[in-house]
């Protein structure tokens, strides 16, 4: 390129730079452009600051988020907004959405502030970061979790009271924390084909006479749990066949139930007496006829 042309480009560039510094960017940002008169800052909330020769905002206005103009200050979060800076001057972690000040995504409003939403079992520093899950706290391990004696519900929105015993009230089965239990008719109960053993505070699978068993608690006869006798009628013969059998002093009835030997003898005597009476009545009727 001709040296004369190079010098011309340099001069023109210097002139354009000087014009820009003097007049500011009149096409782009109105705020912070250079000014000499109030007419240079004729936009809402604008004023010429003669000390620095720049357009700034009036007392009740503040810079917009794009720094191109001024927006009016608002006095509370309930007042309609047009720019997020109106909200941020009142409360951190906010933005303007649909003319309302709201918490930015990932935050929620509680205790007059916008708090980060920490998920269940995620790291936290304060309880408020977890309380969007009802009943959740920031635990000693600094993670969000349910408080003592409560459990997280199925959809992860709140902590529910954990059941401690059979027949405790429940809303969801997750509250029934002992093994093989479920929530039926708003009460914690053993699942179908299971029964509850108070001594072990858990549910065991029902095992009948002749079924394989691992302990006495598995062997089940419904009459034992209706009458609650001190000694159960069935036991697990763990020393031999590992099967459920009638306990000592109990015998297997014709109905396949374990009954007390005394009850069995009494039943036999009752049957014999009944038969004797029936025979006598039959004979008497024959004679009289």
Please name every residue paired with 107 in a beta bridge, in sequence order, or none if there are none: 116
Predicted confidence (pLDDT) at residue 24 exceeds the cutoff of 90: no
Residue 12's pLDDT is what?
37
pLDDT cut 90: percent of the chain above it: 63
Q: Helix or strand or coil: residue 286? A: helix
The residue to which tokens 């920490």 are assigned: 118
Mean pLDDT (whole number) for 30-44: 91
pLDDT at 164 over 50: yes
Mean pLDDT for the chain? 84
Across residues 229-256, what is the average pLDDT?
87
Is 90 exceeded by the pLDDT of residue 161?
yes
pLDDT tens-place string over residues 218-237: 999 998 887 767 788 999 98
Q: Above 50 in pLDDT, residue 269? A: no
Q: Which segments of the chain does DSSP mark as H helices, in order?
A: 3-23, 84-88, 222-227, 261-288
pLDDT surpassing 70 at residue 8: no
pLDDT at 21: 38
The tally of CA atoms less than 13 A away on the side-chain side of residue 284 is: 6
> Quick check: 206 and 193 in contact, CB under 8 A?
yes
* Burial of 137: CB neighbours in 10 Å, binned 0-12, 13-18, 19+: buried
Residue 187 has pLDDT above 90, yes or no: yes
Report the range out of 20-29, 204-213, 218-227 with the highest average pLDDT: 204-213
Q: Which tens digits make up the pLDDT trace of 67-126?
A: 889 999 999 988 999 999 999 999 999 999 999 999 999 999 988 999 999 999 999 999
Tell me: pLDDT of 45 over 80: yes
Q: Percent of the chain beyond pLDDT 70?
A: 80
Q: What is the mean pLDDT of residues 249-273?
A: 71
The reported pLDDT for the residue numbered 285 is 61
Q: Taking 60 as the threshold, does the pLDDT of residue 274 lie above it?
A: no
How many Cα atoms sit within 13 Å of 275 on the Cβ side? 6
What pLDDT, in 10s, does the model give residues 131-141?
Answer: 999 999 999 99
User: Which is more confidently placed, 101 or 287?
Assistant: 101
Does pLDDT of 46 surpass 90?
Answer: yes
Please check the confidence at residue 280 and state whether its pLDDT lies above 90. Answer: no
Domain regions of the chain by residue span: 21-73, 162-205, 207-269
Instruction: Give dist(CA 181, CA 203) in Å, integer.
Output: 7
């Amino acid at each position: 390129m001709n040296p004369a042309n190079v010098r011309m480009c340099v001069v023109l560039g210097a002139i354009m730079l000087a014009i820009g510094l003097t007049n500011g960017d009149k096409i782009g940002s109105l705020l912070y452009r250079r000014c000499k008169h109030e007419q240079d800052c004729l936009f809402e909330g604008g004023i010429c600051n003669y000390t620095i020769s720049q357009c700034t905002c009036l007392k009740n206005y503040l810079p917009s988020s794009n720094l191109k103009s001024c927006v009016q200050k608002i006095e509370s979060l309930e007042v309609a907004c047009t720019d997020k800076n109106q909200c941020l001057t009142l409360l951190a972690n906010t933005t303007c959405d649909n003319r309302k000040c709201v918490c930015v995504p990932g935050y929620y409003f509680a205790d007059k502030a916008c708090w980060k939403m920490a998920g269940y079992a995620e790291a936290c520093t304060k309880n408020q970061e977890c309380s969007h899950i009802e009943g959740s706290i920031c635990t000693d391990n600094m993670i969000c979790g349910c408080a003592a004696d409560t459990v997280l519900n199925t959809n992860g929105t709140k902590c529910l009271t954990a059941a401690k015993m059979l027949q405790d009230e429940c809303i969801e089965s997750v509250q029934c924390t002992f093994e093989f239990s479920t929530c039926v008719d708003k009460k914690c109960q053993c699942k179908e084909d299971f029964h509850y053993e108070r001594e072990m505070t858990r549910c065991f699978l029902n095992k009948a006479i002749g079924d394989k068993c691992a302990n006495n608690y598995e062997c089940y006869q419904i009459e034992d749990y209706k009458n609650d006798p001190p000694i159960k009628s069935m036991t697990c013969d763990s020393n031999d066949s590992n099967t459920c059998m009638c306990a000592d002093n109990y015998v297997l009835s014709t109905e396949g139930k374990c009954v007390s030997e005394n009850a069995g003898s009494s039943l036999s005597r009752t049957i014999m007496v009944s038969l004797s009476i029936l025979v006598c009545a039959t004979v008497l009727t024959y004679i009289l006829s």
